[in-house]
Amino acid sequence: MKIYNTLSRKKEEFQPLEEGKVKMYVCGPTVYNLIHIGNARPMIVFDTVRRYLEYKGYDVNYVSNFTDVDDKIIKKANEEGVSAQEISTRYITECKKDMEGMNIKPATTHPLATQEIDGMIDMIQTLIDKGYAYAVNGTVYFRTRKFDGYGKLSKKNIDDLEAGHRDEAHSLKVTGEDEKEDPLDFVLWKPKKEGEPYWTSPWSDGRPGWHIECSVMSKKYLADEIDIHAGGEDLIFPHHENEIAQSEAANGVPFAKYWMHNAFLNIDNKKMSKSAGNFFTVRDISREYDLEVLRFFMLSAHYRNPVNFSHELMESAKNGLERILTSVDNLTHLSESAKDMPMTDGEKDLIASIEDIYKKFEDSMEDDFNTADAISAVFELVKLANSNSSSDNSREYINTLKNKITTLTDILGLKTEKKEEMLDGDIEALIAERQKARKDKNFARADEIRDELLAKGIVLEDTREGVRWKRA
């Protein structure tokens, strides 16, 4: 199995540090709002990597954090007049709903930054003791130049970085904020500002810098040295570069053996941004499509290629997924009427021929997780099943065909059972119950009903004329 390692800029044979086990850390979202489709890509991609490793028999310890203390969370809390914890708790719940919709397996551990502060204080103290960090007026900085090899992940030259920082350093001197020994040094701990959440440390009442959080959570829940560290390519610099510097300086061993990064997502060939008006949350997409379609769409491109999101491409993904689901559905129905007898020799030969398709699937996945080619193999299998199955076949053959397809779709995280269509009367009854719950100010129940309908592919729209609904 080959993985493209950002650290070496080439594909390398995957060999875990410990036989049969994989320690994998994926940087999770900062929870101050509903997650957007850019956040969804690494979640889907690395969940699929995990599923394939598990299919190959590895015991995967998969850790993905939630950054639940951050400037954006604090800003949102202040705007709403609530605590930062209330904001982060709310959006972690919403994020988990979206993840479930995209069929992302819960991580082995989902650590929260705020629950790991003691470990961060310990690591910062270790860095100070080793001479890699220093405190000034309650802020602790990391001595970037002292870490030999800074820039090895992003391939940035420290002298070029310094040139870029000169103007910034000049402006810091002018404003009197020039506390750093070197403009390249970055923050490990910062003192609180008025109205911010804070923790007590030897240096000041304050909170950790963002980079130290992942270093500590990776160490605590995995090990000092891990197999795979993954995230979006926007995290390579400075986040992952700084994680390497802190972790290796503190722990004295290499931080991660393989670094995996997914490429960006564009919307209709433009960068996604709120100002451009082309910003979509996963929840927005769920109003028009089943989130399985979003997952299928994301896997239809190689994770290291930029992916372009558009209505046309989502429709095409919807049709592609439908082909697979219809084939499995057809096999389910055939199984009910198929003959209860052993497989014939002809049936056995057809099942044996599937080995070639499986090999194509596995070869694609083992070539740096090429899910686009793996999906082609699934389509090949669907075509074979569609052309070679009828009620004249044995039940054993039909069920084996179905299992052969679902084994591969499970690896891709695609659920193959079609959702039972709700009857109009049942939908109207639930909408009426929701209206009553809202009238009684029982908003929790009203939300529950909306989510229940959404899970069954029914989208509600509250209008002045009343509630409208449609099938997603």
Tell me the pLDDT tens digit for each residue of 205-243. 999 999 999 999 999 999 999 999 999 999 999 999 999
pLDDT at 176: 44
Tell me the pLDDT tens digit for each residue of 164-205. 665 554 444 444 457 999 999 999 999 999 989 999 999 999
Q: Is residue 419 part of a domain?
A: no
Tell me the pLDDT tens digit for each residue of 40-77. 999 999 999 999 999 999 999 999 999 999 999 999 99
372 with 434, same domain: the answer is no
**Neighbouring residues of 123: CB distance < 8 A, sequence distance ≥ 6:** 212, 215, 216, 219, 246, 250
69 with 165, same domain: the answer is yes
174 with 205, same domain: the answer is yes
Burial string for 399-431 (b: 16+ CB within 10 Å, else e) reads: bbbbebbbebbebbbbebeeeeebeeeebeebb
Task: Provide the mean pLDDT of the chain.
Answer: 94
239 with 382, same domain: the answer is no
Q: Is residue 300 part of a domain?
A: no
- Domain end point (choices 220, 246, 262): 262
319 with 205, same domain: the answer is no
83 with 221, same domain: the answer is yes
C-alpha span between 365 and 197 (Å, rounded): 44
SS3 460: strand
Q: What average pLDDT score do residues 279-302 get?
A: 96
Q: Is residue 430 part of a domain?
A: yes
Paired sense of beta strands 205-208 and 199-200, if any? antiparallel
Considering only 155-164, 170-179, 408-417, which range has the smallest mean pLDDT? 170-179
- Domain end point (choices 411, 441, 456): 411
| Percent residues over pLDDT 70 in the chain | 97
Q: Which strand (E) or helix (H) includes residue 189?
A: strand 186-191
Q: Is residue 292 part of a domain?
A: no
134 with 80, same domain: the answer is yes
177 with 220, same domain: the answer is yes
Q: Is residue 304 part of a domain?
A: no
At 242, which CATH number? Answer: 3.40.50.620
Q: Is residue 31 part of a domain?
A: yes
76 with 185, same domain: the answer is yes
Tell me the pLDDT tens digit for each residue of 338-358. 999 999 999 999 999 999 999
At 367, which CATH number? Answer: 1.20.120
Q: Is residue 96 part of a domain?
A: yes
Q: What average pLDDT score do residues 262-285 get?
A: 92
440 with 463, same domain: the answer is yes
C-alpha span between 84 and 22 (Å, rounded): 34
Q: Is residue 167 part of a domain?
A: yes
pLDDT at 234: 96
Q: Over 60: is that where the pLDDT of 326 sits?
A: yes
pLDDT at 69: 93
247 with 348, same domain: the answer is no
Amino acid at 245: A
Q: What average pLDDT score do residues 110-123 get?
A: 98
Tell me the pLDDT tens digit for each residue of 434-465. 989 989 999 988 888 988 888 787 888 888 88
Q: Over 90: is that where the pLDDT of 402 sits?
A: yes
pLDDT at 171: 45
Q: What are the two backbone dihedrals, phi and then psi, of residue 424, each rounded to the nearest 5 degrees?
A: -55, -40
Listed ranges 36-50, 272-286, 409-423; the one with the highest mean pLDDT: 36-50
pLDDT at 453: 87
43 with 183, same domain: the answer is yes
Domain assignment of residue 462, given as a range: 424-471
Domain count, the chain: 3
pLDDT at 166: 56
